Structure 1
């Protein structure tokens, strides 16, 4: 999922231009992204053979939504506060927001699609034909899937990116052209509308794809993270954000999908509760930055993986051990490995590709966008 430039807001410090800063960084968020990606990875790489892991990936998506909703909402409201202070205009803030989001999300996404478009001239890829290609180019994969009923093969994980991009397009103008005092009501309205949409679809007996991939429900989960972000300046009870409370919420997020929620029907009914616990965990981490759990999330492996998690998320479905086997077989070598070996190898290759993409492609583009918007705001 997309990585968001982390911001602080309502802390009593003077408003300043949004941008990467060690001071603005919320400790633990990168590590939480890493864990969310690993949930998705296990679901996609092992879950296809063991249904018990299926809902683990959905939980990872909930964590991603909570993180994105919290950070995006804070960035937008902070910009709106600057507009009301006469430091910028809503239109300039919107341009700046979209430029930074575009620089973060578009390059690696469209590079991946472009490579497959070229390769599809010579090789057929399941799910990558006709209208599916157009939908992916327009960030409408989720809409294509639940309106046609056709899954898009290894491109299926693009549905979450589509929902996030649709949310940015709709949510950003609403917050930037409305009073900052209306931000909480706006987020609450999105949450209620998302829950209402989910209830109506379930009552009407809609298909699984329609229920799981509809945009309005996803918007509600993102806005729930936004509500948490708008309340970070309010001091929460210590028992609620303590280290043990953080650990309890994290264990609930991990264990529930593997036990009581491992049935699709049960998951669909309890998904809002999972979103609420995921949002609570994100809120707890942001409120208490000195706990042992946050220190664990800040360990080098998790923090590093979280930083490149967007690339990992995009690439992981296209990295398969059977392709490596086929390539080696052409050299006259046959690989005989244990059943547990392919997944770690695929993870290592995915991380390597994402690290290269981050170092030489994504980070330079983000730095350019940050510099360009800084000059504009100045």
Structure 2
């Protein structure tokens, strides 16, 4: 068996990382910790973690499917159909139901004086709308930009990986990362607006590619033991931290904007990748055991719904200083209570979405995949040309 294929089982801790990532996003949006535009934006770090996880899982799956195609044990058209069926079941239903509800509410009462850009979100072009059309953040629907990035990635990645030799996948990803880094720094140096760089930079796709490189490489490293596998992780983390520290030392008064901030983005990305790969490669560590905590694991399971709903909850919900004063709530707790209430409401909506819709639809994946693979069974003689 190919070494990379040995890494296709359950990876512990990923749901825990998802839970931490969506918490960072929530705190940035609702708790105003790490505002957009600062060098260390908690929301950005949370979204980047999602990108790394998506790249790790999706590109790892596509890489393994390409190996099966080269072994003539699977057909490329079957792999494509299965991939898009899985993505559609996971992403589309709750997303488009939410957009439909949002369109009705917007027509009747919800932020009627604000352009929510709903047609752009329907087409998964939220990032383009924010960066080029609006050149600004539209408020409650601003978080849809990252969903657009992932969907655009899903449209391209299967064709790149399933139609190219598996031996070239890491090199293709590395080449894209280099080009994206150059463009990202050039955007900063050229004075591009903060929303454009934040939502439309190719560095967002590079994070998906970095996660994919990790997913492909980790399988190979597992075959040679932890010491060999840990070295690239440690070097990646160290390189990222050195880049950040060097920039901070050279420009102590700069927090955002321009090429220096773009360099920080790249350094932080590699540091984040290093930590992520360390967790993936230490499946028996105490850190992974903590990430596997049942409540955290479930929160990560419903994190997609939580991410969709959280920013649509009014920021004024729970803001009742007069009520708190009458109830003798300590002044230090009063600003925290609205955030806690909004968090719990978003979690309730995510729980209901998972139990009533998402979980039920995902149960269809295995029978549908089996039906597709039966319909498009491998035909070795015909597939030899795919090599």
- TM-score scaled by structure 1? 0.83
Tell me the CA shift for residue 335 of structure 1: 6.0
Does 2:165 match 1:165?
no
2:19–2:303 CA contact under 8 A, matched in 1: yes
Q: Deviation string for 1:221-259 (max 9, x for gaps)?
A: 1101111111112336549849xx8xx99xx8xx99xx9
1:308 alignment partner, one of 302, 307, 310: 302
Inter-partner Cα distance in structure 2 for 1:334 and 1:122: 30
Inter-partner Cα distance in structure 2 for 1:205 and 1:127: 30
Inter-partner Cα distance in structure 2 for 1:345 and 1:371: 39
Corresponding position of 1:184: 170
- Bigger mean CA deviation after superposition, 200-209 or 75-84: 200-209
1:263 alignment partner, one of 255, 265, 273: 255
Gaps of 5+ in 1: 1-7, 19-23, 327-332
Secondary structure of the equivalent of 2:220?
Answer: coil
Tell me the CA shift for residue 349 of structure 1: 1.0
Inter-partner Cα distance in structure 1 for 2:110 and 2:307: 22
Q: Deviation string for 1:46-90 (max 9, x for gaps)?
A: 117977797011111111111111111101011111111222221
2:11–2:280 CA contact under 8 A, matched in 1: yes
Q: Deviation string for 1:281-336 (max 9, x for gaps)?
A: 2211221100011111111121111111111111110123524669xxxxxx9565
Distance change >3 Å, CA 374–CA 278, structure 1 → 2: farther
Corresponding position of 1:139: 124
Corresponding position of 2:357: 361
Inter-partner Cα distance in structure 2 for 1:165 and 1:117: 21
Corresponding position of 1:116: 102
Inter-partner Cα distance in structure 1 for 2:2 and 2:185: 34
Inter-partner Cα distance in structure 2 for 1:196 and 1:215: 11
Corresponding position of 1:297: 291
Quick check: which has more Rg, 1 or 2?
Answer: 2
1:141–1:159 CA contact under 8 A, matched in 2: yes
2:66–2:162 CA contact under 8 A, matched in 1: yes
Q: Deviation string for 1:16-70 (max 9, x for gaps)?
A: xx8xxxxx21001110111111111111111179777970111111111111111
Tell me the CA shift for residue 143 of structure 1: 0.2
Inter-partner Cα distance in structure 2 for 1:322 and 1:199: 38
Inter-partner Cα distance in structure 1 for 2:39 and 2:193: 21
1:42–1:53 CA contact under 8 A, matched in 2: no
Tell me the CA shift for residue 107 of structure 1: 1.2
Distance change >3 Å, CA 198–CA 261, structure 1 → 2: farther
2:56 alignment partner, one of 70, 76, 83: 70
Inter-partner Cα distance in structure 2 for 1:128 and 1:363: 33
1:43–1:57 CA contact under 8 A, matched in 2: yes
Inter-partner Cα distance in structure 2 for 1:162 and 1:262: 30
> Could you say what the CA RMSD is over the residues aligned between the two structures, in angstroms?
3.2
Does 2:294 match 1:286?
no
- TM-score scaled by structure 2? 0.81
Tell me the CA shift for residue 93 of structure 1: 0.8
Secondary structure of the equivalent of 1:120?
Answer: helix
Distance change >3 Å, CA 295–CA 127, structure 1 → 2: farther
Tell me the CA shift for residue 128 of structure 1: 5.8
Inter-partner Cα distance in structure 2 for 1:304 and 1:294: 15
